[in-house]
Amino acid sequence: MEPDAAARIADLLSRTQRRLRRQVRRELGPLGVTPARLRALWALSDGALRVSDLAERLDVVPRSATSVVDDLEAAGFVERRPDPEDRRATFVDLTDEGAGLLRRLRASRRAGVAELLDRLSPDEQSDLIRLLAVLAGD
């Protein structure tokens, strides 16, 4: 591949990703949710986790996960409960408010991506999905 083409593709992918991140930040800002907190909420959407398991999923140190959980708990998006099998461990789970927030954010994200992709014809959208799947290794 020509270096100019590789650089152009890398630039376009970066610009598209930045655009999507800006959109997410605009949505999250008024809610007091940072991208790091959103990642934790997504990780918890599959069910309750110990803080240590959440840290592993997020690829952060347990202390960082604890700080994120503290913030999410203060906002009412998660709750802690004792692990019935290990008195030293604590589970973190979404509250109804946290689950509702994720549903709203998913819908908003789909709408934002759809708005961006509406610039493409249905055939171009299919091509993009196919090509991104190849790049993602799926």
* Whole-number Å distance between alpha carbons of 23 and 105: 11
Give the confidence band of 31 by pLDDT, cuts at 50, 70, 90.
confident
Domain limits, the chain: 3-136
- pLDDT classification of 138: cutoffs 50, 70, 90: low
**Which stretches of 1-138 are assigned E, i.e. beta strand?**
49-50, 78-83, 86-94
Question: Has residue 132 got a pLDDT over 70?
Answer: yes
Q: Is residue 70 predicted with pLDDT exceeding 80?
A: yes
Give mean pLDDT, residues 76-81. Answer: 96
**Predicted TM-score (pTM) of this structure:** 0.74
Cβ-contact 81, 93 below 8 angstroms: yes
Higher pLDDT, 45 or 115: 45
Percent of the chain, pLDDT > 70?
Answer: 99
For 75-89, 104-118, 123-137, which range has the lowest pLDDT when averaged over its residues?
A: 104-118
The pLDDT assigned to 33 comes to 84
3-class SS letters over the chain: CCHHHHHHHHHHHHHHHHHHHHHHHHHHHHHCCCHHHHHHHHHHCCCCEEHHHHHHHHCCCHHHHHHHHHHHHHCCCEEEEEECCEEEEEEEEECHHHHHHHHHHHHHHHHHHHHHHCCCCHHHHHHHHHHHHHHHCC
Distance, CA of 93 to CA of 101 (rounded, Å):
14
Average predicted confidence (pLDDT) for the chain: 90
Domain 3-136 has CATH 1.10.10.10: yes
**Over 90: is that where the pLDDT of 35 sits?**
no
